[in-house]
Amino acid sequence: MSQFSHSSTCNRLLLALSPADWNNVAPHLTRVSVALRQPFESAHKPIEFVYFLESGLASIVAQLPNGHSNEVGLFGYDGMTGSSLIYGDKESPFDCFAQMEGEALRMPAEALSAAISASPALKRVTMHFARALAVQTAYTALSNGQSHVDQRLARWLLMVHDRVSGDEFAITHEYLSIMLGVRRTGVTDAMHLLEGKRLIVSTRNRVVIKDRSGLIELSSGAYGPAEKEYTRITGLDLAKMDMMTA
């Protein structure tokens, strides 16, 4: 049985529920700590639990048979794992794991499926998120195909910035190369370019956002469309969207 109130959660999707719908979900929720690189889902394996993130960051990663991988989606306290369940599928073709440590509300997959069947409001909220995540994935594919590495890096940093508290977060160049699907040297060059423009300050394992507006300008339109669609589809705002320029 849940021992916390509706107002105590930080997850945007759960906060969007009415008290009655929250009461249907709450008995199945357990607050858990999320460790760095903790797997949430493994490709083509049954989904056992759903995680509504309250802090931290999750990455959805696609992998080719040759081992090459690329991030195709990310979310924080704006979303949830297990979006395949919303469409009646019990597994995902992708891996999903914690990119940054944090906390989450965990729920058994079977309990979520039952709650969605019993609550049209919960079904609507979760389906809207799944739709918004699909839109984000489409814009990631567009950005990867059309944008320069520095523009893609600017977009990715802004997406993370939307979903973390403050302006500083931990990340390595090696991990960024996986997220952006480029060689590590390309990430290093792009980081130096952003630092040279005084948009960020980067150390070995951390990045500090110094000029958000400058990053948005550098992204050349790669950042913004998916975020606006998230708000249009879900009716919810991302953390720092009020700082976004046209």
Domain containing 43 — which CATH number? 2.60.120.10
The residue type found at 120 is P
Q: Is the same domain home to 212 and 148?
A: yes
Mean pLDDT value of segment 198-203? 93
Tell me the sheet residues that pair with 168.
208
The answer to whether residue 183 sits within a structural domain is yes
The answer to whether residue 1 sits within a structural domain is no
81-108: per-residue pLDDT in tens? 999 999 999 999 999 999 999 999 999 9
Show the tokens assigned to 128: 């809207």
The mean pLDDT of the chain is: 91
Residue 244's pLDDT is 45
Confidence bin at 239 (pLDDT 50/70/90) = low
Q: Residues with Cβ < 8 Å from 209, sequence gap 6 or more?
A: 157, 161, 167, 168, 199, 200, 215
Please say which residue of 119, 151, 168 terminates a domain. 119
Q: Is the same domain home to 88 and 161?
A: no
Residue 1's pLDDT is 44
Residue 187's pLDDT is 87
Q: Is the same domain home to 105 and 149?
A: no
Can you point out the beta strands (E) in the chain? 30-34, 39-41, 49-53, 57-63, 69-75, 95-100, 102-108, 168-170, 200-202, 206-209
Q: Is the same domain home to 71 and 167?
A: no
Q: What's the domain range around 160? A: 143-240
Residue 173's pLDDT is 81
Which whole-number Å values give the CA distances from 151 to 157, 168, 221, 226, in the listed order? 10, 19, 9, 15
The answer to whether residue 129 sits within a structural domain is no
Residue 64's pLDDT is 83
Q: Confirm if 29 and 106 have CB atoms less than 8 A apart.
A: yes
Q: Is the same domain home to 90 and 185?
A: no
Q: Residues with Cβ < 8 Å from 207, sequence gap 6 or more?
A: 157, 168, 169, 171, 200, 201
Q: Is the same domain home to 45 and 115?
A: yes
Q: Is the same domain home to 43 and 147?
A: no
Residue 14's pLDDT is 96
Residue 242 has pLDDT above 70, yes or no: no
33-77: per-residue pLDDT in tens? 999 999 999 999 999 999 999 999 999 999 888 878 888 999 999
Confidence bin at 3 (pLDDT 50/70/90) = low
Residue 205's pLDDT is 85
Residue 246 has pLDDT above 50, yes or no: no
**Residues above pLDDT 70, as percent of the chain:** 96
Mean pLDDT value of segment 201-225? 93
Q: Which residue has the higher pLDDT, 68 or 158?
A: 158
How many independent structural domains does the chain possess? 2
Please say which residue of 55, 85, 119 terminates a domain. 119
119-132: per-residue pLDDT in tens? 999 999 999 999 99
Please say which residue of 60, 87, 119 terminates a domain. 119
Q: Is the same domain home to 89 and 148?
A: no
Residue 179's pLDDT is 77
Q: Is the same domain home to 228 and 159?
A: yes
Q: Which residue matches tokens 């509706």? A: 6
**For position 223, which CATH number holds?**
1.10.10.10
Confidence bin at 182 (pLDDT 50/70/90) = confident
Q: Is the same domain home to 158 and 113?
A: no
